[in-house]
Amino acid sequence: MEFLSHADYNIIFENKEVQGTPVELLEIGNLSVSSGEIVACDPLVFHDIVPLSKKINPGNYPVKIYIAKTENAGERYAVAKLELSNKKAEKWVLALRNDDDINELKEKGDFFGFPVDAGLGGIMDYEAALQYDKFIESFVQKKS
């Protein structure tokens, strides 16, 4: 079952200004996906590595950041996009993990996501996430 997003992100992707706020595109490179599975998390604070339930074809995909240039709060990263296709999206489906239960989403605007305890968000290949987790564990043990 698909759960459609309440937002139309094409508005951000197609405009240099949204509701009076300038938006700037920052292309940060490609994500190499070897497993076909994606993990979205705060890369400094993730407690379990659970990939999103939908798989993609292995390959290299552009990562784009859309920066909102706010008047009162300065520049803010508003949206990170892993671009799977250069075609315009016709609908936006909420990315879920296998253990997410859409029945928990009761109010308009409810969504699943991840906590950003360190103030960061990351998108990575599942196999890379497992290796990164091993590296962090080893690093912490060496520093203890």
Pairing between strand 38-41 and 122-125?
antiparallel
Read off the pLDDT of residues 87-101 as tens digits, 9 standing for 90 and up: 999 998 888 998 888
- Asked whether residue 21 is assigned to any structural domain, the reply reads yes
Q: What percent of the chain has pLDDT over 70?
A: 98
- Asked whether residue 1 is assigned to any structural domain, the reply reads no
- Asked whether residue 104 is assigned to any structural domain, the reply reads yes
- Asked whether residue 5 is assigned to any structural domain, the reply reads no
Euclidean distance between CA atoms 96 and 63, whole angstroms: 19
Per-residue model confidence (pLDDT) at position 47: 66
Q: What band does 7 get if pLDDT is binned at 50, 70 and 90?
A: confident
Read off the pLDDT of residues 50-99 as tens digits, 9 standing for 90 and up: 899 999 999 999 999 999 999 999 999 999 999 999 999 999 888 899 88
List Cα–Cα distances, 105 to 1, 9, 54, in angstroms: 13, 20, 19
- Asked whether residue 128 is assigned to any structural domain, the reply reads yes
Mean pLDDT of 113-121: 77
Euclidean distance between CA atoms 123 and 115, whole angstroms: 14
Give the DSSP letter of residue 74.
E
Per-residue model confidence (pLDDT) at position 23: 97
pLDDT of 3 > 80? The answer is no
Mean pLDDT of 15-31: 96
List Cα–Cα distances, 112 to 23, 30, 55, 91, 97, in angstroms: 25, 25, 18, 18, 9
Number of folded domains that form the chain: 1
- Asked whether residue 105 is assigned to any structural domain, the reply reads yes
For residue 59, the enclosing domain spans 10-143
Mean pLDDT of 134-140: 89
